[in-house]
């Protein structure tokens, strides 16, 4: 229950910040279909960092090889143990009275080695169970494809988002999620919301240098030479091209839920 309690406290803390300005309001004052939601990210809550075929992410490597990178030397190996306690967590979300939940998918859990390996069916099954549990409670799931945790394979092979080769892997990931967890299945509606990293060059430079993957120069020889602003532009460009392909796949999925 400790993990579930920790998640509940985090959600309630966020609601406490918002509530003072919302006193006196009722749901009737909001438009029909208005979504009240909470959000999490995979590395911060899932744990089970090497279970059921999951590969290492850049944050797994960072927290195990960079002493002092996280306060008290902590890591996300167990975190809130959401991977094992997701049903309890869904109950907590439901008890808060919200009707939407945004969470991120661990890329390393569904495609442990990127293009070099196949889809990890156990990873897909976990997210399918989670989404089914949310829909059963009347909570609309919103899926974020990336929230700062890349498979280690993508960091070492392409230099993360700095390498153009990662675009193909991103397309593969989006295609996999859209087809295996996409709109039109019996588990309900799912929206994919690919997260682009913050747009401040100063913040971006700080993240590269002080968080995973903790980089102060070019990702690898010949990949990129420049300042943090150019890194930012390059990374954002590499995140965006597959969106058109993804939209096409999602539209096809809506038109033919069977995927045939």
pLDDT the model gives residue 89? 98
Q: What's the domain range around 140?
A: 2-10+35-255
pLDDT the model gives residue 246? 55
Q: What is the CATH classification number for the domain harbouring 214?
A: 3.20.20.80
pLDDT the model gives residue 71? 80
How far is residue 112's CA from residue 116's CA, in Å, rounded to a whole number? 9
H/E element, 110: helix 107-110
For the chain, the straight-line distance linking the first and the last C-alpha, in angstroms and rounded, comes to 42
* Residue 189, both tokens: 């509606």
HEC string of 169-211? HHHHHHHHHHHHCCCCCCCCCCEECCCCCCCCHHHHHHHHHHC
Sorted by sequence, the CB contacts under 8 Å of residue 224 that are 6+ apart come out as: 159, 162, 163, 218, 230, 231, 234
* Mean pLDDT in consecutive groups of 10 residues from the start of the chain, 260 residues: 53 53 71 92 96 95 84 91 98 94 94 85 95 94 87 87 84 83 47 43 52 54 54 75 56 58
pLDDT the model gives residue 100? 93
pLDDT the model gives residue 90? 98
The answer to whether 145 touches 104, Cβ cutoff 8 Å, is: yes
pLDDT the model gives residue 197? 45
pLDDT the model gives residue 147? 85
Please indicate, yes or no, if residue 109 is contained in any of the structural domains: yes
Domain count for the chain, please give it: 1
pLDDT the model gives residue 206? 53
pLDDT the model gives residue 237? 78
pLDDT the model gives residue 78? 97
Please indicate, yes or no, if residue 42 is contained in any of the structural domains: yes
Please indicate, yes or no, if residue 20 is contained in any of the structural domains: no
Please indicate, yes or no, if residue 26 is contained in any of the structural domains: no
pLDDT the model gives residue 171? 82
Q: How far is CA 187 from CA 22, 83, 139, 156, 173, in A?
A: 33, 19, 11, 35, 20
How far is residue 94's CA from residue 84's CA, in Å, rounded to a whole number? 18
Sorted by sequence, the CB contacts under 8 Å of residue 168 that are 6+ apart come out as: 115
Please indicate, yes or no, if residue 226 is contained in any of the structural domains: yes
Strand partners, 103: 143
Please indicate, yes or no, if residue 125 is contained in any of the structural domains: yes
Please indicate, yes or no, if residue 218 is contained in any of the structural domains: yes
């Amino acid at each position: 229950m400790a993990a579930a309690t920790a998640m509940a406290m985090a959600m309630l803390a966020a609601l406490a910040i918002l509530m003072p300005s919302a006193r006196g309001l009722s749901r009737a004052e909001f438009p029909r279909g208005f979504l009240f939601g909470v959000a999490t990210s995979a590395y911060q809550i899932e744990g089970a960092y090497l279970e059921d075929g999951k590969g290492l992410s850049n944050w797994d490597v960072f927290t195990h090889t960079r002493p002092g990178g996280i306060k008290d030397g902590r890591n996300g190996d167990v975190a809130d143990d959401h991977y094992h306690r997701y049903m309890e967590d869904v109950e907590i979300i439901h008890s808060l009275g919200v009707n939407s939940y945004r969470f991120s998918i661990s890329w390393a859990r569904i495609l442990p080695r990127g293009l070099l390996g196949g889809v990890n069916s156990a990873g897909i099954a976990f997210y399918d169970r989670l989404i089914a549990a949310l829909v059963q409670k009347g909570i609309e799931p919103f899926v974020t494809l990336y929230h700062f945790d890349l498979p280690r394979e993508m960091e070492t092979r392409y230099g993360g988002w700095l390498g153009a080769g990662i675009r193909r892997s991103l397309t593969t990931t989006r295609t996999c999620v859209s087809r295996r967890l996409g709109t039109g299945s019996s588990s309900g509606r799912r929206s994919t919301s690919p997260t682009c990293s913050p747009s401040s060059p100063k913040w971006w430079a700080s993240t590269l240098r002080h968080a995973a993957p903790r980089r102060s120069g070019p990702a690898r020889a010949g990949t990129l030479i420049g300042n943090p602003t150019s890194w930012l532009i390059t990374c954002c460009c590499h995140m965006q091209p597959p969106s058109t392909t993804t939209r096409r796949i999602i539209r096809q999925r809506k038109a033919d839920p069977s995927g045939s």
